Amino acid sequence: MLNSPESHRSQTDHASVVAAEDGLIRYIRQHAELAERSGYTIPADWRYQSQYHLLLVLGRRHTPAPRPEGLIGMPARLCYSNAAQYARDHQDQGLLYAEGFARTLDVYLSHAWTVRPDGTVIDPTWDDEPGRAYIGITVADPALWPYDGGGILHDFRRLMPLLRDGFPHNALADLGRPLTDALPRA
């Protein structure tokens, strides 16, 4: 049946996820604009002006998905190490570490999660409450995954070389949907 209740619910769910993602992208753009207006200038030969600019160029939409049965949430406020450890423990299932910004309870926060090969999220820290949205980069190279609790995009020591030089070849995985999907045309 083409217009079944399940089909309508799925379309509504997809529309609400896209709307949440679009709000998150606007948030990242606003911060990129603030960085540009701050008066702080980076050297002209640097790849990215800020982590927000980096996300707008390299970021992808990662689709929220129900938490796998049996996965008990890992400690709150440790999302970077939680996601890195969960990805390490489940690499044989194709899970990779992802980092960027996420929406929860109408709040946008820097966050880390894992991504399946199909671009869907397994978040070992947060539950799978409706309304979540994830915009970030998927890091394919485990050598770049955090090991000490700090994130890649929010730890000065890790971030500065990436802003200057970009990521090493093949360090990122092209998982998820482009940021430009379903964005209004300007």
Instruction: Please give the model's pTM, rounded to 2 decimal places.
Output: 0.88
- Look up residue 73 and give its DSSP letter: P
Question: 107 - beta bridge partners?
Answer: 104
Q: Give which of 168, 182, 181, 167 is closest to 48, Cα–Cα.
A: 167
pLDDT tens per residue across span 60-91: 999 999 888 877 777 778 999 999 999 999 99
What's the mean pLDDT in 101-116?
Answer: 94
Helix axes 51-58, 5-37, angle to 10 degrees: 140
What's the mean pLDDT in 12-37?
Answer: 91
Neighbour count for residue 109 (Cβ, 10 Å)? 12
Residue 154's SS3 state is: coil
**pLDDT at position 127, please?**
83
Question: 178 - beta bridge partners?
Answer: 60
CA dihedral for 138, 56, 134, 28, sign (positive or negative): positive
Report the mean per-residue pLDDT for the chain: 88
- Does residue 22 have a pLDDT over 90? yes
Chain centroid to CA 63: how far? 10
**pLDDT at position 5, please?**
38
How far apart are alpha carbons 139 and 9 in whole angstroms?
32
Range scoring the smallest mean pLDDT among 81-90, 159-168, 176-185:
176-185
Q: What backbone phi and psi angles, to 5 degrees, belong to 62?
A: -110, 130
135-151 core/surface letters (b: 16 or more CB in 10 A; e: else): bbbbbbeeebbbeeeeb
Can you tell me which residue has the tokens 């619910």? 9
Range scoring the smallest mean pLDDT among 14-18, 146-150, 153-157, 179-183:
179-183
DSSP string, 4-35: -HHHHHHHHHHHHHHHHHHHHHHHHHHHHHHH
Token pair for 176: 């998820």
